Amino acid sequence: MSQLSTADAGRLPRQARRHGGPPGLPGRRQVRLLRLARWLFLLPAVGFVVFAFVVPVVYNVVLSFERTSPATVAHLAAPFAGLSNYWVTLRDPVADSAIVRTFSFTVLSLLFQFVIGFGLALLFCVRFPLRVLARSLVLVPWLLPLLVTGVIFRFLFQLQAGAVNQVLLGLHLVHRPVGFEVDPGWAYLTVLVTNIWIGVPFFTVLLYSALQDVPAELLEAARIDGAGPWQRLVRVRLPLIRPVAEVVLVLGFVFTVKVFDVVIGLTGGGPANSTQLIATWAYNLSFQEFDYGAGAALNTVLLLIALAAAPLYIWLNRASLRGDTR
Amino acid sequence: MSAVSAAARRRLGAALAGVGALAAVAVLLFPLYAVVVASFETNSELFGASRYSFFPARFTLSNYRVVLSQQGSHVVSSLIIAAGTAALTLAIAVPAAHALARYRFAVTGLLTGSLLAAQILPSIVIANSLFLVYHRLHLLNSYPGLVIADASYAVPFAILVLRAFMLALPRDVIAAARVDGATEWQAFTRLVLPMSRPAIITIALFAFLNGWGDFIFALTMLNGNTFEPVTLSIYTYIGEFSQNWGQAMALAVFAVLPAAMLLIAAQRYIAAGLTAGSVKG
């Protein structure tokens, strides 16, 4: 206390002054500086979260209630439009079918990604030559730029010189080339197949690492007790990897509801809007028809669907909210 | 006798699993094979023929010659964007992860919760709003604007993964250094940073790939008159010259190259990031 000059005492936090402050602490100011420094470490992240996430979400909701036009782009505000963006957008059959399609697309993608990924993960649990190489090569599809993947599959699914048609003809599965690009049903299937291709590596790698964590003694004990391969799979392995499987499926859901690049690269949403998903149609409304309010209204719908998974996702990640690791 | 047959059965099982897995990998990788092959073919081979040929007869470098002369600047743009995204992500995430791992804030739960929610946000929502905000701020058609938008892919993941890694670092080492007179800043730069190197490399790689692979922000925020990344130019390519698959595929090879190279050079960091991002439950 004696070391503190009156000027320093004047700058003490109110609480310290009231209680006289702990004796012999030269670092009162230092403590405050340190606390400030801690916040400086955090400040860029807080600023970024506000600018790149909070502002866009809030502004998106505001936009969805405004009557926008190319002329209003110059200002950040436009006349209030009530719910008209929602009425107009959601009564449009293209938007309706995009919403329904996004759901079916997500469910089918996750189903096949899980089944194929889990099957591959099981295969990788068996020792065979080139296993390590094969396991790392599986990752490749997941790392490519999504738009490029879309374009590559557009190339493979062509009518005349497409590899897929060539294989189907060679196997006598079809008699004439399939019009993947012109038939709405087939076009939807191409987007689905492509998206499954992208997601399989992710499921394989994560389910494989979960399977590796299943204790070998447990499987051995089950075998000795007379459990066959199927029973060991269903009764031992599946229950033990369930926590990981849940996380993977929730993450897969989050990835899939916002699919955009793949559709644009592969079909552009066509033919006749038959492969539009919520994200691509919202893009279309905002950036092709310059109706940002309508696009924002559809974006809000997408936001609600995606954020429906948020409580589950945060609950599964609850460890990271606490101070400790796991 | 039965032991022998069990061993034989096991070996047969392993052989079958191996064949199955390798066949699956071959199917998974076929599209890439097709891209590389097509990039060496002339358009007449790709289109004049009425059928797809799995093993083309002639190879040409003309696609690469055209792409290199016309698209070189786009590859450079992609590199600038990717490196910028990685740099910005590190600048934001490394200090934040350290602070969140070492100090207790009133907002810790709120911030990590919003980072988890941010990972869920669809990019088209961000793009729609940021386009209009950028229009006012004159950030459209600029590298800084695009890099900030691209960092939205990487920052939440980076902070969460790095913080989890830093929480697992031995606390007593840092405490001992502080007792020995090291300042907080020295503890951070001399101990925490070097010990966190693997996780920092992982998040930098992912941020780089995010910036390299971005399409949605480039599509919405660039008008094509200033600069454009490879993803955007592939998209314009198939729009404008939809018949010129040879060149489009040569360009696709360039677009795929960083991912392939990083997978070879830094596979363990990639695999670490893949698991760290999701198995924290």
What pLDDT, in 10s, does the model give residues A163-188?
888 888 888 888 888 888 889 999 99
DSSP annotation of A287: I
Peptide bond into B122 cis (omega under 30): no
List the single best residue of A159, A223, A307, A325 to mutate versus B (max B Cβ within 10 A).
Answer: A325
| Touching B: A residues 166-185, CB under 8 Å | 166
Would you state the pLDDT for residue A22? 47
Cα-trace Rg, chain A: 28
pLDDT at B4: 62
Across the interface, do B238 and A251 touch by the CB < 8 Å criterion? Answer: no
Q: Return the percentage of chain A with pLDDT > 90, whole number.
A: 43
Q: Is B104 on the interface with A (CB under 8 A)?
A: yes
Residue of B53 and B203 predicted with greater confidence: B203
Cβ distance B231 to A147 less than 8 Å, yes or no, reads yes
| A contacts of B189 (beta carbons < 8 Å) | none
Q: Rounded to an integer, what distance in angstroms lies between the CA atom of residue A72 and that of residue A81?
A: 13
Has residue B2 got a pLDDT over 80?
A: no
Lowest mean pLDDT segment, chosen from A245-259, B53-67, B102-116, B203-217? B53-67
Reply yes or no on whether the pLDDT at A311 is more than 60. yes
Greatest CA separation for chain A: 98
Query: Searching chain A, which residue's CA lies closest to the CA of residue B44?
Result: A161
Q: Please check whether residue A41 is in contact with residue B163, taking contact to mean a CB–CB distance below 8 angstroms.
A: no
pLDDT at A319: 66
Q: Who's near B183: CB < 8 A, 6+ residues apart? A: none
| pLDDT for residue A19 | 44
User: Which listed CATH number (3.20.20.70, 3.30.360.10, 3.40.50.620, 1.10.3720.10) goes with B63-275?
Assistant: 1.10.3720.10
SS3 B177: helix
Q: Which residue has the tokens 């691509």?
A: A280
pLDDT at A321: 62
> Two tokens at A314?
């945060």
Please state the domain extents for chain A: 6-64, 94-321
**Proportion of chain B above pLDDT 70, given as a percent:** 91
Reported as a single tens digit per residue, the pLDDT across A193-217 is: 999 999 999 999 899 989 998 888 8
Query: Is-cis flag, bond preceding A271, omega within 30?
Result: yes
Query: Which ipTM value was assigned to this complex?
Result: 0.90
Is 90 exceeded by the pLDDT of residue B88? yes
Kindly report the nearest CA distance between residue A274 and chain B, in angstroms.
19
pLDDT, tens digit, 9 for 90 and up, residues A85-144: 999 888 999 999 999 999 999 999 999 999 999 999 999 988 887 888 888 888 888 889
Q: Cα separation of A122 and A109, whole Å?
A: 20
Angle formed by the axes of helices B245-265 and B2-39, nearest 10°: 130
pLDDT at B47 over 70: no
Euclidean distance between CA atoms A145 and A156, whole angstroms:
17
Q: Does any CB of chain B come closer than 8 Å to the CB of residue A297?
A: no
Q: Which DSSP letter does residue A26 get?
A: T
Higher confidence at residue A317 or residue A325?
A317
Per-residue model confidence as pLDDT tens digits over A230-245: 888 888 899 999 888 9
- Which top CATH class is A94-321? mainly alpha
